[in-house]
């Protein structure tokens, strides 16, 4: 039973044997859940353990300790993989096949009926803008096209859960925008998307929640919205020049002024005081801009703290 949880990870650990018998701890007691219908960003610097986690989930490597389930099915089983659309990092597919042939192969492994498979292949190729290249062998594709084949094969059986390892890697800005649109569309359709990335902007734009992993340990797990809100440092407020008594605002930092407006820097804790003064001295606010730490700053702060 999944109980509305798409991904349930409990104490997942992985150690690799390094050189001279040394053990490398790639993943250490990862515990987290991803509810169904959520877009989850798994953020971390290179070598943080993102791909190790995903490989454990997909049964490519066996965890040293811990367990996980995919929509109620234990990881590593055929049944668990039946419920997932998986895109590996830097994907490679049988290059002697065309995109169409490869998608048919993937669909057949998911035991899709022929007519449904034919329809889905058509739709996926069109959605990922591969229709023109459908008959060409994959070996003639560019890196971005191979990445798009990878995304197409995750969608072919319309799974409930998508596990994407660096889905935007190797794509040009148009391709990245396309992938973001696809993820947002999947979200609209109630699908769960778990994707790893080291690009904070990707997470900020499409994710509901984010987990930050550094050196194999989950360092933060929160809603993107909450992080963004907690990152508010203050506001930039413009008031109309020539109206009211601006000297009342002298205790706030004046950024610039012109004949039309005056621009103040208002700390988050003094915003109410600022608005009260505006109202009391008959001033007029024309613009308020939030000054916030973005997700990148939040991410870098965590990484730097771990490094210390």
Which residue matches tokens 């994959």? 138
Least distance (Å) from another protein to the CB of residue 35?
23
Which residue matches tokens 């668990």? 80
- Phi, psi at residue 255, to the nearest 5°? -85, -50
Using CB under 8 A, pick the residue from 60, 254, 260, 288 that binds another protein: 60
Residue 22 or residue 78: which is nearer to another protein going by CB?
Answer: 78
Least distance (Å) from another protein to the CB of residue 88?
4
Contact in structure between 286 and 240 (CB atoms under 8 Å): yes
* Residues between 64 and 123 with contacts to another protein, criterion CB under 8 A: 78-79, 81-82, 86, 88, 90-97, 101, 105-106, 108-110
Task: List, as one string, the DSSP characters of 179-229.
Answer: HHHHHHHHHHTT-EEEEEES-HHHHHHH-SEEEEEETTEEEEEEEHHHHHH
Residue 77 or residue 279: which is nearer to another protein going by CB?
Answer: 77
Give dist(CA 212, CA 214) in Å, integer.
7
Written as six digits, the tokens of 190 are 């109630």
Task: List, as one string, the DSSP characters of 101-120.
Answer: HHHHHHHHHTT--HHHHHHH
Q: Does 62 bind another protein (CB under 8 A)?
A: yes
Residue 161 or residue 295: which is nearer to another protein going by CB?
Answer: 161
Residue 197 or residue 238: which is nearer to another protein going by CB?
Answer: 197
Least distance (Å) from another protein to the CB of residue 94?
6
- From residue 144 to residue 163, the character string flagging contacts with another protein as x (rule: CB under 8 A) and all else as - is ------x--x----------
Q: Is 121 exposed, middle or buried (0-12, 13-18, 19+ CB in 10 A)?
A: buried
Residue 41 or residue 150: which is nearer to another protein going by CB?
Answer: 150
- For the chain, how are helix, strand and coil distributed in percent, rounded to 5? 40, 30, 30
Contacts of 228 (CB under 8 A, 6+ apart): 204, 292, 294, 295
Residue 70 or residue 237: which is nearer to another protein going by CB?
Answer: 70
Q: Contacts with another protein: how many residues (CB under 8 A)?
A: 29
Least distance (Å) from another protein to the CB of residue 114?
13
Least distance (Å) from another protein to the CB of residue 86?
5
Give dist(CA 186, CA 82) in Å, integer.
18
Region binding another protein by CB under 8 A among candidate stretches 2-10, 51-59, 184-192, 261-269: 51-59
Least distance (Å) from another protein to the CB of residue 58?
4
Using CB under 8 A, pick the residue from 29, 35, 37, 59 that binds another protein: 59
Contact in structure between 158 and 49 (CB atoms under 8 Å): no
Residue 153 or residue 200: which is nearer to another protein going by CB?
Answer: 153
Contacts of 257 (CB under 8 A, 6+ apart): 241, 263
Residue 82 or residue 241: which is nearer to another protein going by CB?
Answer: 82
Q: Which residues bind another protein (CB under 8 A)?
A: 16, 55, 58-62, 78-79, 81-82, 86, 88, 90-97, 101, 105-106, 108-110, 150, 153
């Amino acid at each position: 039973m999944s109980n509305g949880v798409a991904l349930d990870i409990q104490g997942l650990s992985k150690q690799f044997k390094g050189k001279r018998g040394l053990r490398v701890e790639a993943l250490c007691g990862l515990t987290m859940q991803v509810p169904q219908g959520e877009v989850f960003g798994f953020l971390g610097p290179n070598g943080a353990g993102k791909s190790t986690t995903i490989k454990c989930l997909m049964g490519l490597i066996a965890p040293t300790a811990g367990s996980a389930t995919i929509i109620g099915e234990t990881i590593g089983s055929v049944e668990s993989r039946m419920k997932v659309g998986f895109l590996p990092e830097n994907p490679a597919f049988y290059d002697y096949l065309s995109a169409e042939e490869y998608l048919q192969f993937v669909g057949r492994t998911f035991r899709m009926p022929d007519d449904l498979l034919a329809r889905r292949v058509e739709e996926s190729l069109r959605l990922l803008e591969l229709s023109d290249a459908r008959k060409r062998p994959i070996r003639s594709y560019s890196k971005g096209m191979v990445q798009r084949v990878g995304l197409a094969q995750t969608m072919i059986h319309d799974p409930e859960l998508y596990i994407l390892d660096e889905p935007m890697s190797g794509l040009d800005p148009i391709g990245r925008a396309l992938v973001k649109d696809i993820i947002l569309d999947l979200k609209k359709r109630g699908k769960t998307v778990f994707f790893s990335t080291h690009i904070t902007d990707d997470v900020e734009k499409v994710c509901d929640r984010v987990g930050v992993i550094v050196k194999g340990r989950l360092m933060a797990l929160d809603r993107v919205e909450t992080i963004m809100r907690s990152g508010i440092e203050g506001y930039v407020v413009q008031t109309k020049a020539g109206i009211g008594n601006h000297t009342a605002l002298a205790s706030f930092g004046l950024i610039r002024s012109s004949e039309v407006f005056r621009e103040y820097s208002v700390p988050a804790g003094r915003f109410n005081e600022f608005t009260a003064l505006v109202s009391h001295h008959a001033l007029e606010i024309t613009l308020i801009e939030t000054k916030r730490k973005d997700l990148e700053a939040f991410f870098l702060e965590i990484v730097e703290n771990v490094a210390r």
